[in-house]
Amino acid sequence: MLMDLEYLAKEIQREPWAKGVSVGKNFWPVLMKWIDEHVFSEILDRLIDQIDKIVDIDPGLSEPQILESATRYMVEFLGAHSGSVRIYDPQTEQMLSYCSFPSSEEDREAFIPLDGSIAGEVVKTRQPYLAPNLFGEDLYHNKNVIYAKQVHSLMAIPLEIPRFFPRERDTIGVIQIYYAEKNREFRTSEIQIANTMAKRLSFAIARKKILSMQKTEEKKEAIVRHIFQKLGSRGGVKMAEVFNQVVPELADIVDLQNCTLFSVTEGLDQVILQAGFPEHGHHSVGKVLPVSSELVFELLLNLREYSGESVYEVVTPSYISVVDPQRSDLVSKTLKKFAALHNINSILYFPLGYDGEVTHFMAIDAVDQRLRYSDDEVDIFLFMGRELMKAQKMERLDDALHDFKNPAIAIAGFARRLKEIVRKDELEQSKDQVRKYVDILLEETSRLQELAMSIYRVGDEQAVNLTEVLKRRFEINREAIKEQLKQNVTLKEGPYDPDIRVMCYVVHVERVFDNLLNNATKAIPLKGGVLAVRTYSDGDWACAEISNTGEISEHNRMKILEGEGEGRGLYITYRIIRLLKGKIEIRSGKGTTTFVVSFPLYRP
């Protein structure tokens, strides 16, 4: 027996209405027994059933969906009209509208202040708040809701979800239960039941967090697995490919619409769209934007301090969340139009880099207006960002190792020639040759040094004589042909335009020519053929042409032009040409293949 029925009967008989009831002495014990067996048990059964429903809410649902389901059970059990949930956000010190039942978020204010509101009062006191008459309630400001929904009274119950991990914070909020009755009298039992149901929500959220933790670890393992699979592949690590493979892994954790990866130039003046998911989405890979075009870029790169207090963005050291692109001051008019066109209603930015220096950042677009991202969601994006930075380092190392080949062959060849001259004691009579070989050795060892440094940086941008660079690389390739014992290759040079210049990093152009010359040499048939180069200007373009004997199939030609050519060298070439805002053309003639690379002509 849950309670003393004899004591309860005596208490009832003391009530004024019970004193005038004329019944036999056995009436009250029989009545109490019947209430115990039928009323109390039924109430408890119904209450336990509703609590079980809350605890058993599918943990695979999102947190707002879990809270909405729990609110529905509370509304139905308490015979209320509707309900809503608001969560306190300490970063903005606002009460965020999180969900409602029936779902009608479009009619609800997204933010309300902590001070001067019913929800805020409940959060501060951690006590229920009863409003029998919303018309006369000073803390209830949006009276339009009363007319629109025909609700007149409110019971607000505190919601507390303890943190699951030490690095997290407790979730604090309020569940607001609306009733249609005017001047409603709230029973103590109703308040206690609502409190109990709200507290059981922590079990449902705990199950959600356990499942999320398991999924997060699985996704982290999948991200690392993709990177190591690329490490073992013949083509090596290509950051854009890694990005396109790992982002879909997050689709069932985070409801993302698009995800883009930007790199930042050394001078922190431009950003380049390096990769995007989905692969054929609305983003333009290779697009270059000035950092000054978006305030959010400057904040990500620590070029400006955030001094705003808008509820439409959240700025933290780890990420920037643009809650509403149309109302935020962090995005330009151009980006606002882009967001409206593609139905982007919130954007999450993550800065990425090494030792405090931001070299890249990710942008995650969402269809939903995300007022708040969970710690798990932020953690998985930060993890992916760190792994992408590792992949980018490995890609640069792969690129440098690939391009070490030609300079290394040339150095070995000219060193052997020098050794032979010394062995024969012919230094005096071979001064010119020795000087030439030493110059080449100095150039190529310096180039190896530049390639090694390019893993981290690429030097200074300058006006480069395209013809001189091609002539030097052609000479090195000549030595590589000799060292590889490639037979029957005829070399042809010119005509050259002696003074066509390109504003770029010299190591970039050298790598383009080395890879194209190396590929052209390998493409010459075993019976032999011709390798020819020339330069010229064409309007606003500085052009270099590399031709070889041997035809290329149309399929392979199109793959190269689309950046999908096989081989590390062609991948490096395509990426650098895109970076320098250049273009590549491939002409297939009768028995010949010609690559034409064009860069914007530099005019002082």
The verdict on domain 233-383 having CATH code 3.40.50.720 is: no
- Every domain of the chain with CATH number 3.30.450.40 lies at 24-210, 233-383
Would the pLDDT of 100 be above 80?
yes
| Closest-CA residue to 350 (of 326, 324, 314, 325) | 314
- Between CA 151 and CA 179 the distance in angstroms is 6
Q: What are the φ and ψ backbone dihedral angles of 288, each rounded to 5 degrees?
A: -110, 130
- Between CA 244 and CA 364 the distance in angstroms is 13
Q: What are the φ and ψ backbone dihedral angles of 211, each rounded to 5 degrees?
A: -65, -40
Would the pLDDT of 230 be above 60?
no
Task: Say which range, 87-101, 153-167, 199-213, has the weakest mean pLDDT.
Answer: 199-213
For residue 122, the number of C-alpha atoms closer than 13 Å in the C-beta half-sphere is: 28
| CA distance readout (Å), 488 to 145, 520, 548, 549 | 87, 14, 13, 11
- Mean pLDDT over each residue of the chain, to the nearest integer: 79
Q: Hey, CA dihedral for 397, 403, 522, 469, is it positive or negative?
A: positive
- Between CA 344 and CA 366 the distance in angstroms is 6
Q: Look at residue 234 in the predicted model and tell me its pLDDT.
A: 45
Task: Say which range, 107-116, 365-374, 508-517, has the weakest mean pLDDT.
Answer: 365-374
* Confidence at 437, pLDDT banded by 50, 70, 90: confident
Would the pLDDT of 535 be above 90?
yes
Identify which of 234-248, 321-335, 346-360, 373-387 has the greatest average pLDDT. Answer: 321-335
Question: pLDDT digit string (tens) for 271-287?
Answer: 888 878 776 666 677 78
Task: Say which range, 20-24, 63-67, 187-191, 310-314, has the weakest mean pLDDT.
Answer: 20-24
Q: What are the φ and ψ backbone dihedral angles of 31, each rounded to 5 degrees?
A: -60, -45
Q: What are the φ and ψ backbone dihedral angles of 361, each rounded to 5 degrees?
A: -155, 155
- Every domain of the chain with CATH number 3.30.565.10 lies at 463-600
| Number of neighbouring beta carbons within 10 Å of residue 493 | 15
Question: pLDDT digit string (tens) for 285-326?
Answer: 778 889 999 999 999 888 888 877 777 888 888 888 888 889
Q: Look at residue 522 in the predicted model and tell me its pLDDT.
A: 86
Helix ranges (H only) for 404-504 are: 405-423, 431-453, 466-483
Question: pLDDT higher for 411 or 530?
Answer: 530
Residue type, 317: P
Helix ranges (H only) for 156-313 are: 188-232, 239-246, 295-300
Question: pLDDT digit string (tens) for 332-375?
Answer: 999 999 888 888 888 889 888 766 678 888 888 877 666 666 66
Would the pLDDT of 38 be above 70?
no
pTM, entire model? 0.47
- Between CA 484 and CA 463 the distance in angstroms is 33
- 259 within 8 A of 364, measured Cβ to Cβ: yes
- Between CA 514 and CA 400 the distance in angstroms is 12
Spelled out in words, what is the top-level CATH class assigned to the domain 463-600? alpha beta
Task: Say which range, 24-33, 67-76, 462-471, has the weakest mean pLDDT.
Answer: 24-33
Spelled out in words, what is the top-level CATH class assigned to the domain 24-210? alpha beta
Question: pLDDT higher for 476 or 405?
Answer: 476
Task: Say which range, 147-156, 199-208, 450-459, has the weakest mean pLDDT.
Answer: 450-459
- Between CA 498 and CA 491 the distance in angstroms is 19
